[in-house]
A and B are shown apart, each in its own frame.
Chain A
Amino acid sequence: MFIVTRQYSGRESAREIAVWDPLVRLIHWSLALTILLNGAFLDAESKSHEWVGYIALALVGLRLVWALIGPKHARFSAFPPNPVRAINHIRSMFEGDRTIFISHNPIGAMMVYNIWLSVIAIGVTGYMMTTISFFGVEWVEEAHEVIFGWLIFSVMLHVAGVLFDTWRTGVNLVRAMVNGRKNIPEWHDVI
């Protein structure tokens, strides 16, 4: 009996949707790795710190290009940077709306742009520190550090948001970023 019921319930009560393509996933985890390396392990004065920073910049650049020419769930149009949508999403969330967004949800989308912009800002200020005209300039160094602090704060918020949304909607988002598939319980509306 159990083979049949398992097969049946697997097909009827949940749907698997391929959301994150391999390039999105690779870039995501590589970017996480570069942030971890530069934040926790590499000497800030070292050459490798610089290179890892440039790699992070390249990863974001690659992701931005992919958001222009990639498949639909990876595109800007799937998660437009729209604060109004994010606020509406929070409101409807409190009203008990359990709609699932296939790509990023509106508030997650804001976090995505926030993290990308932070990484770009850190990369640019980091590069400026290596140039002759900005070497030793105080505000550049301060900006580099302050934005890095903001990035770490954002990453923590991001992780908390992922855990919260996994708990709220029942879609395991960490697994989705590993194997690319979202397992959508059937009672949800999907956008």
Chain B
Amino acid sequence: MKLRLWPGKTKERRATILAGLILLQALCALFFIGDVIEDFRENGHLDNPHLLLETVAAAALIAGVVFLMIELRGLLSRMSDMQIGLEIAHGHLAEVIESFFDEWNLTIAERDVAIMILKGLDNDTIAQVRNTASGTVRAQATNIYSKSATDGRAQFISVFVEELMAGDISSGNGAGPASMSQSTKKPAEKDRPAL
């Protein structure tokens, strides 16, 4: 349960840092622009080197701000693409799990237990969460394994993992993001004999 398909966290931090830098740099640009305007108001000429340098610095800072903004927009749109991909994957996994449960005719209580088994809870914890005796949970788990024709927890979980690894997740939907179709291409490249 601790291992999460959630690479967005570090990207989110990056986006926040980038936004902070944009703000800071914009304020630095403001300082230089203010200085340039003030100097210009005092002597009214752009020919002295100090003022020229300040103007260049201000222009460079502004260009930097705009560049960082474009970078940030790119990062944000990559993040939202990834989010869409994850949601599709989540949706598919839930569908897959549901369809297996239907196929095995699990009762409502058994479905609950089965989901908790998939989430990695042991029988005692499941009994605690469901407020039943651990013997009941053990019986339900045994039912689940026999209905699914598996010989225990590990094999039961591997049914779903196998389903995820074997299928081309994005192809059924046609709306799969680019990252997914790339990941399905990669193994094919690996299969090519090394010359």
A interface residues (Cβ-Cβ under 8 A, vs B): 1-4, 11, 18, 21-23, 25-27, 30, 54-55, 58-59, 62, 65-66, 69-71, 131
Question: Which residues in A have their C-beta under 8 angstroms from that of B76?
Answer: 21, 71
Q: Which residues of B contact A131 (CB under 8 A)?
A: 41
Q: How far is the CA of A18 from the CA of B83 in the complex (A)?
A: 10
The interface stretch among B16-24, B146-154, B173-181 is B16-24
- Across the two chains, which residue of chain B brings its CB closest to A70? B73
Complex A-B, nearest 6 residue pairs according to Cβ-Cβ distance, in ascending order: A22-B19, A23-B19, A58-B30, A22-B16, A71-B76, A62-B26
Contact A22 B18 (CB under 8 A): yes
- Extra contacts besides A1-B131, A70-B73, A71-B73 (17): CB < 8 Å: A3-B129, A4-B115, A4-B116, A18-B79, A18-B83, A21-B15, A21-B76, A22-B18, A22-B19, A22-B72, A23-B72, A25-B19, A55-B27, A58-B30, A65-B69, A71-B80, A131-B41
Kindly state the separation between the CA atoms of A107 and B84 in the bound complex, as whole angstroms: 29
Q: Which of B33-86 contact A (CB under 8 A)?
A: 34, 41, 65-66, 69-70, 72-73, 76-77, 79-80, 83
* Number of cross-chain contacts by CB at 8 Å: 68
Minimum CB–CB distance for A120 against chain B, Å: 14
From residue A12, how far is it (CB to closest CB) to chain B in Å?
A: 10
Instruction: Decide if B69 touches A69 in the complex (CB within 8 Å).
Output: yes
A contact patch SS: helix
B144: shortest Cβ distance to chain A, in Å?
Answer: 15
With beta carbons under 8 angstroms apart, the residue of A3, A21, A71 that contacts B116 is A3
Task: Decide yes or no whether B112 CB sits under 8 A from chain A.
Answer: yes
- Judge whether A26 and B20 touch: CB under 8 Å: yes
Contacts A23-B69, A55-B30, A62-B26; A1 near B15 (Cβ below 8 A): no
Would A4 and B15 be within 8 Å (CB), given that A23-B22, A26-B20 are in contact? no
| Chain B, interface residues (CB within 8 Å), range | 20 to 34
> What are the residues of chain B within 8 A of A26 when measuring CB–CB?
19-20, 23
CA gap between A131 and B40 in the complex, in Å: 13
Residues in chain A near residue B121, CB distance under 8 A? 3
Which residues on B sit within 8 Å (CB–CB) of A23?
A: 18-19, 22-23, 69, 72
Given known pairs A26-B23, A70-B73, A71-B76, the reply for A54 and B34 (CB within 8 Å) is yes
Contact of B22 among A2, A25, A62, A71 (CB under 8 A): A62
Given A55-B27, A58-B27, A65-B69, does the pair A71, B77 have CB atoms closer than 8 Å?
yes
Q: Is the Cβ of B115 less than 8 Å from the Cβ of A21?
A: no
Nearest-CB distance from B18 to chain A (Å)?
Answer: 7
Contacts of A66 in B (CB 8 A): 69
Chain B nearest CB, measured from A3 CB (Å) = 6
Quick one: closest B residue to A21, CB to CB? B76
Complex CA gap A65/B69 in Å reads 9
Residues of B within 8 A of A58 (CB): 26-27, 29-30
With A4-B112, A26-B19 already in contact, the answer to whether A69 and B30 are too (CB < 8 A) is: no
